[in-house]
Chain A
Amino acid sequence: MRKRINFKNWRKIVLVLFVLGIAFFALSGYMAKAIDRVLAPVVRAQSTLMERLNFIINLFSISEDQVALVAENEELKNQVAELQNRIIQLQQNLNEADILYALLGFARSSPDEQYVPAKVIGKDPSPFLKYILIDQGSDAGIRAGMPVVTNKGLVGRIDAVTASASRVRLITDSTSMINAVVVDVDAECVVQGSITGDITIEMVSQDVNLEPGQVVQTSGLGGDYPADFIVGQVLNVNQINNEIFQSASVLPAEDFNSLQAVLVVSNFSPANIGPLE
């Protein structure tokens, strides 16, 4: 008995073989071009669709991102401001450290003297007076009459003292007079302040050859100031022939407008020459 061929099975076999064939061609790369051609419009459509979709999604979600960005921006701004403040603070500390190192170096170079370091905390409110206020007083051993210096030179002397602060009369004050010596020519003179803060040397003998650049130091005469502290340099000589003395303007060694820290010479007591006067 002959068996009849079942066409349904044949169809299945042909279908399977066809699919396997296509799969074989596809996997072996022979159909890549054909697949590309078929898929290209689909991919384009998909891409366009996704773009539109993303646009719509972004449209609704952008506000959240923006809020996050704004918050982040604000935080970063705060951080920048904080860092800038820190930089300014550090620069100030550095400036202070520079000044203190300079003062320390000066104090070490003259071990015979005892110094009390002090910060400048203010100026006399009157524009006619040249006084400064410092943050050390009698608690730190400061007494009236003690000289005040910096590493550059003489600043003044203590005028009044409270427990925690002192007032210093600068050498530029109009009532200040200091016995000094012009070092290069060994000529004695008097350093006098003025109402505008300029200082001059007075009562210099006409025989002395004063020249700009010569150094003026304290002489120690009178006992008000210790000797050998630099006051400044001769700037302009004022010599009039028929006068007894000549004078000269002096460039102070210290810039009194930017004074930040000073040293008080605490082991110097001014001599009391009152009974001899």
Chain B
Amino acid sequence: MWEIIVGLPILAAAAFVQVGFFGQIRLMNGTSDLILLCLIAWSINDRTRYSWILTIAGGLIMSYISAMPMNAYLWMYLFIWIMIRFIKMRVWQMPLVLMLFVTITSTLVISVGTLGLLFLQNANVNYFEAFRMIIVPSLVMNLLLCIPIYAFLNDVINTIYINEETE
């Protein structure tokens, strides 16, 4: 229960910082996705039990803030959560390497998903430019941020569960 109580304000704060601050910091046209990184770090940790609730919450927050149609963020985040569960159980056990791998994969999933939706909306999309100017820079920014976010949230999660175990 503490996981949700602590996790929701962290997600809200991440959304606040994303919209107000990290949205302004751009590498070419790419930006980092703070909420995605928080959700990945949360889902990767073996101790967490309610990461799916936080994934839904993060998806709803992003769907509310962003102009992306059809609550796309919610579905994409849920897809990424399922992907993490699958990879964690069957393929990979090392959390830090998994964090890097999932960050790369998730950024690509979200980028492809968004481009697909924009294609459906008849948007003016140059795919090569999108790859060069948005996807690669966003990937770099996410990779730069994923390790500190992983370290921070890992500490938070460990603190929550150590407290629960001692109680």
Contacts and interface: CB of A to CB of B under 8 A. Distances in A.
Given A175-B118, A193-B124, A194-B124, A124 B66 contact: yes
A97 B26 CA distance: 27
A197 B126 CA distance: 11
A196 B125 CA distance: 9
B64 to A, nearest CB: 9
A275 B129 CA distance: 37
Q: How large is the interface on A (under 10, 10 to 19, 20 to 34, 35 or more residues)?
A: 20 to 34
B123 A197 contact: no
Contacts of A193: 124
A178 B124 CA distance: 13
A121 B26 CA distance: 17
Contacts of A160: 67
A26 B62 CA distance: 101
B154 to A, nearest CB: 24
A129 B68 contact: yes
A41 interface: no
A124 B65 CA distance: 7
A250 to B, nearest CB: 13
B115 A128 contact: yes
A196 B35 contact: no
Interface in A130-174: 131, 133, 159-160, 167, 169, 173-174
B138 A127 contact: yes
A118 to B, nearest CB: 15
Nearest to A162: B64
Contact of B122 (A122, A126, A127, A175): A175
Contacts of B18: 125
A122 B164 CA distance: 37
A194 B19 contact: no
User: Which of A128, A160, A193, A194 has the most chain B CB atoms inside 10 A of its CB?
Assistant: A128
A122 B130 contact: no
A195 B66 contact: no
Interface residues of B, number: 33
A96 B122 CA distance: 38
B40 to A, nearest CB: 15
Contact of B29 (A133, A173, A197): A197
Contact of B23 (A124, A167, A169, A173): A124
B19 A196 contact: no
B29 A127 contact: yes
A169 B31 contact: no
Interface string B73-88: 0000000000000000
B144 interface: no
Nearest to A197: B29
Interface string A177-206: 000000000000000111111000000000
Interface in B106-149: 111, 114-115, 118, 121-126, 129-130, 133-134, 137-138
Interface in B3-32: 15, 18-20, 23-24, 26, 29-31
Given A127-B29, A131-B67, A122 B124 contact: no
Given A123-B24, A175-B123, A129 B66 contact: yes
Contacts of B33: 125
Contacts of A175: 118, 121-124
Given A122-B19, A159-B67, A127 B26 contact: yes
Interface of B: 15, 18-20, 23-24, 26, 29-31, 33, 35, 62, 65-68, 111, 114-115, 118, 121-126, 129-130, 133-134, 137-138
25 contacts: A121-B19, A121-B20, A123-B23, A124-B67, A125-B23, A125-B65, A126-B66, A127-B26, A127-B30, A127-B134, A127-B138, A128-B115, A128-B134, A129-B67, A133-B65, A159-B67, A174-B118, A174-B124, A193-B124, A195-B118, A195-B133, A195-B134, A196-B29, A196-B129, A257-B24
The 4 closest A-B pairs by CB, nearest first: A122-B19, A123-B23, A174-B123, A127-B31
